[in-house]
């Protein structure tokens, strides 16, 4: 399945909309929209709603393509143990892919689990 950013770009291209034109329609900058399409940033609920209207798709369809973990879960885990925040930042800074991280985690069957 296409990511949110990939879907936005293919839909925008199919509608023959430039990045700048779509950004103007939803009230954001072209660089911000580009970052969303490239997966470097994530849209707020308001921006996601505006994108759905501008691209003539259901907001639910866009939300279904958002592959982020629920933010409340991330906040809860990092608040409970701040080392998780450092771990998340380190993974991102080192450009470790989600697939590589999952493979590593699945290979750690004998390690201590957090409680």
Q: pLDDT by residue (tens digit) across 57-81?
A: 999 999 888 877 666 677 788 888 8
In terms of domains, do 53 and 12 share one? Answer: yes
**pTM of this structure:** 0.61
Q: Report how far residue 85's alpha carbon sits from residue 75's, in angstroms, rounded to the nearest whole number.
A: 9
Q: pLDDT by residue (tens digit) across 42-61?
A: 898 899 999 999 999 999 99
Q: Report how far residue 65's alpha carbon sits from residue 8's, in angstroms, rounded to the nearest whole number.
A: 10
Q: Which of 115, 91, 93, 114 shows the shortest CA–CA distance to 104?
A: 91
CATH number, domain of 28, equals 1.10.260.40
What range does the domain containing 86 cover?
A: 71-106
Instruction: List b or e across 15-49, with b for residues whose CB sees 16 or more CB atoms inside 10 angstroms.
Output: eebebeebbeebebeeeebbbbbeeeeebeeebbe
């Amino acid at each position: 399945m296409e990511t949110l950013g990939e879907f936005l770009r293919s839909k925008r291209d199919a509608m023959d909309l430039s990045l700048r034109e779509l950004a103007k329609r939803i009230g954001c900058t072209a660089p911000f929209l580009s970052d969303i399409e490239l997966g470097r940033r994530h849209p707020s609920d308001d921006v996601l709603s505006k994108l759905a209207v501008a691209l003539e798709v259901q907001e639910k369809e866009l939300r279904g393509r958002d592959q982020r973990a629920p933010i409340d879960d991330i906040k809860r885990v990092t608040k409970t143990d701040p080392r998780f925040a450092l771990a998340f930042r380190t993974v991102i800074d080192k450009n470790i892919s989600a697939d590589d991280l999952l493979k590593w985690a699945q290979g750690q069957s004998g390690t201590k689990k957090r409680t």
